[in-house]
Amino acid sequence: MLHKPDSALVIAGHGSTVNTDSSAPTFDHAEEIVRRGVFGEVHCCFWKEEPSFQQILHAIDRDDIYVVPNFISEGYFTRTVIPRELELEGAITKRSGRVIKYCDPVGNHERMTELLLRRAAEVAPGLNPRETTLFIVGHGTDLNENSAVAAKREVERIAALGQFGQVLNAYMEEEPLISKWHEAAAHPNVIVVPFFISDGLHSYEDIPVLLGIADESPGAASTNAKNIFQRNPYHLRGHTLYYASAIGTEPLFAEVILGQVAAFDAQHAA
């Protein structure tokens, strides 16, 4: 069990200037880790909110610092933006008497498969998975070819378990597009799980429109948008569709963050 009273933990998230829900899961997971008393300090920082990536190290008293990216993909932000803003030299950076340890993003953790299956079961209790198509929905981007790797890996793992009749990737901005879900789904039941950290603009606004369960964006801050997850199931295009909230809102994400710290220690034990 982790116990690091002489160390600090930094959870680095994306954040948003237009939607406060974007950073909420990161703060929630930080509060849970504080409650467990694992670290001497626990901090959050963001690309689009305060405190920023550039500011956060100045707020920390400890000299042993773990940084865990609260991102799904090992892509543009985890490989380029965070290392640049924190002036990291690699997995371990020694500077001014400090040791900064850069962990893998949460989306790489082996428990992602478990969490996705939990979320699917929660949103559609009692559904026969053999008669169900499960979609894992990512963003998709041309900024970094690794952006979709985590989602593809999870689809392969879940499909290999043989629980669902069909397990597919889909994306907002690259093929296969989630807007074409009804063309790909081979079963009467469909479960859609957004592979995102937070219930922000994408899960409240964009994906519901692409799925066809909303005619237009209601605005992410509205009560109507937040109710999108409570209206299951949706009956359209010959299917019964269940839409889950983003995987990053799962309370067990706190354990995944701690798991990435433990994995870092195991990898760099020498």
At residue 66, what are phi and psi to the nearest 5 degrees?
-105, 135
- pLDDT tens across 8-33, in order? 999 999 998 777 778 999 999 999 99
Is 51:44 a contact under the CB 8 Å cutoff? yes
Is 182:166 a contact under the CB 8 Å cutoff? no
In order of 10, 93, 173, the CA distances from 210 in angstroms are 35, 43, 11
Q: How many CB atoms lie within 10 A of CB 263?
A: 15
pLDDT at 222: 44
pLDDT at 145: 56
In order of 26, 215, 268, the CA distances from 46 in angstroms are 10, 32, 26
* pLDDT tens by residue, the chain, 270 residues: 899 999 999 999 999 877 777 899 999 999 999 999 999 999 999 999 999 999 999 999 999 999 999 998 888 899 999 999 999 999 999 999 999 999 999 999 999 999 999 999 999 999 999 999 999 998 876 544 565 788 899 999 999 999 999 999 999 888 999 999 999 999 999 999 999 998 877 888 889 999 999 886 655 544 455 678 889 999 999 999 999 999 999 999 999 999 999 999 999 985
> Where in the chain are the domains?
4-107+252-267, 112-249
CATH of domain 112-249: 3.40.50.1400
pLDDT at 221: 47
Strands (E) across 47-179 are located at 64-69, 92-95, 98-102, 132-138, 166-171
User: What distance in Å separates the CA atoms of residue 20 and residue 220, rounded to the nearest whole number?
Assistant: 9
Query: What's the CATH number of domain 4-107+252-267, 3.40.640.10, 3.40.50.1400, 3.20.20.10, 3.30.360.10?
Result: 3.40.50.1400
End-to-end Cα distance, the chain: 19
pLDDT at 225: 55
What's the token pair of residue 82?
């965070």
- Residue 47 DSSP symbol: S
Is 17:52 a contact under the CB 8 Å cutoff? no
Taking phi over 0 as left and psi of -120 to 50 as alpha, with beta for the rest, 87 belongs to left
Is 40:14 a contact under the CB 8 Å cutoff? no
- Please check whether the two domains, 4-107+252-267 and 112-249, share a CATH topology: yes
